[in-house]
Amino acid sequence: MPVLTGIDVLGIQRYVFASSRLRDALAASWLVHRATSGDGELEQSGGDVVLDSGGNATIIFPSEAPARDFAAKYTRRLHESAPGLEVVVAHRSYAPGGLAEALGRLQIDLACTKIERIPSAPQLGLSVTASCRITGLPAIGLDPQEPGLPLSRMVLRWRDSDVRRESLAQRWDWFLPSLRERDHEFPDVIDDMGRTFGDTSLIGIVHIDGNGIGQQIEEWRRRCVGSSLPDDAVHSELRDWSRRLDKAGRDVLKTVVERVRGAVQSDQNGPQMTGGVADLAFNLKRGQTGRILLPLRPVLLGGDDLTFLCDGRIALDLAETALDAFSVEIPHLGRISACAGVALVPAHTPFDRAYELADALCGSAKRRRRERTDTGSWIDWHIGAPHPGEGIGGLRARSYQHRSKLQLTCRPYRLGAKAGERETWRWLSQTVLGTTSNGFRGELWSQHRNKLKSLAQIVREGPDGVKRARSTWTAAAGLTWPEDLGDTGFFDGIRTPLLDAAELLDLHLPLARESSP
């Protein structure tokens, strides 16, 4: 009787972002990728790998014996090759014609295995006098690059020369031109990611996650069961949509990389990242090979889940680009979309905190999307690091709630199809912050930047305060703003995008010329 074997990697983000070094995160990400990759640890499984992305894998074995033999050898190999990485494995046998139903039961088995498993509780530190400087786990050796720095087995594996070489090169080479034609490369140090020294440098952590993909997969499975689809047809469709979904994630990242590469210009002063706002252009560095270091570094990619780091000034533009590219048709599943969370944090903020913020912001965008019963993409962002343990609700209440009623932000925003669609991200970016006559980056407002900066305080006076200030500015300097903002800049008397626009005025760099709404 054939057997389905499911693998689910636990705590991927916790594992990848346990260190504050970018190179460590890249190495950990590569190990996660290999753990459930058909050309990695699953290459010699002896079964038919039908799904292998995003820290999940599904394999079909002819019987239970080879499935359990594989599981024993696989978990042992992981213990050696990726110490600290935890996985759960479940098996589900099925009769001929029952593949679709078995796929659903396998997910239940994996969920039960996660709950019922007994976490290992070794006596860490017994007879050990030194702790790892990165993770706090018992140290078993010293960093070969920094003698005297005690490290745990997990971190030593990340910094193994073979792992470092593979993770910094082959893992992401597909997203750049061939080596002979290549004139750009990804940085592996935060300080090389377009930072402008002397200014407050922000790094963007962008997390993209598909909307309801699991539900679409479950609907497909139920259709297969309801129509009594033969196993070979289920197998074929499963392979079709899993490969296409995996390709969709790669295509999204490829689009993001090409957008960054297309905005790089070089002159006598060296390479620069340019866009629709000349004052926000910034210089780029060259690596040891002489190639230009892009202000972008992919970290995680698995199907509909994507995380990358970039210079904070281009983070929102790249998030928009990724969401646009994610709207594609997947065979047997239908059209998919995604939401984005963008954490704009000071450079060298601990990765785990920065990622948690980006993930929470993505979740906030998804919640608003569900509340509005919308089918499109949404985006949410925050500038600065939150207080330890602070959620999005507490953060917004502390920073953007005034007089218990006024909401000084409209985040999260629906992406929107065009710049003229009010209360969308494109409307905020291209119309409110546009370069037209009444846009905040237009010629007239650019001569009165002090008034724009004062909006951050004026909005706290509510609609009446904004209306008075705007009337004064219009009479004195002829300043007008987009008609959609009305006289007060508040929607329903309680929500306003003015503070959002003021915060992004000197931060958000659109990489392409803005079009008129």
Q: Using an 8 Å Cβ cutoff, are 78 and 85 in contact?
A: yes
| Confidence at residue 120, expressed as pLDDT on a 0 to 100 scale | 64
Q: Where, residue-wise, is CATH 3.30.70.1230 in the chain?
A: 3-116
- Say which CATH topology domain 3-116 has: Alpha-Beta Plaits (3.30.70)
CA nearest neighbour of 92 among 7, 8, 3: 3
Domain with CATH 3.30.70.270 in the chain: 175-384
Strand order across the 296-302 sheet: 296-302, 305-311, 202-210, 338-346, 378-383, 413-414
* pLDDT, tens digit (0-9, with 9 covering 90-100), for 115-155: 888 766 565 666 667 888 888 888 888 988 888 899 998 99
* Residue entry with tokens 């006076």: 461
Rounded-to-integer distance, Cα 418 and Cα 244, Å? 28
pLDDT value of residue 199: 59
* Integer angstrom CA distances of residue 18 from 15, 210, 286: 5, 24, 28
Supply the DSSP symbol for 234.
Answer: H
The single-letter DSSP state of residue 495 is B
Dihedral angle of Cα 385, 390, 391, 396, to the nearest 10 degrees: -70
pTM of the complete model: 0.92
Stretches where the chain sits below pLDDT 50 are 514-517
Cβ contact 332:177 at 8 Å:
no
Contact 186, 292 (CB under 8 A): no
The predicted pLDDT at position 517 comes to: 38
* Distance (Å, whole) CA 143 – CA 154: 12
Question: Residue 515 has what pLDDT?
Answer: 39
Q: Under a CB-based contact definition with an 8 Å cutoff, are residues 304 and 248 in contact?
A: yes
With contact defined as beta carbons under 8 Å apart, do 510 and 317 qualify? Answer: yes
Question: Domain 175-384 is of which CATH architecture?
Answer: 2-Layer Sandwich (3.30)
pLDDT of residue 78: 92
Segment holding 50, helix H or strand E: strand 48-53
What local confidence, expressed as pLDDT, does residue 516 receive? 37
Residue recorded with tokens 């589900």? 92
Instruction: Return the number of other C-beta atoms located less than 10 Å from residue 112's C-beta.
Output: 12
In this predicted structure, what is the pLDDT of residue 163?
81
Q: Mind listing the pLDDT tens digit for each residue in 288-312?
A: 889 999 999 999 998 889 999 999 9
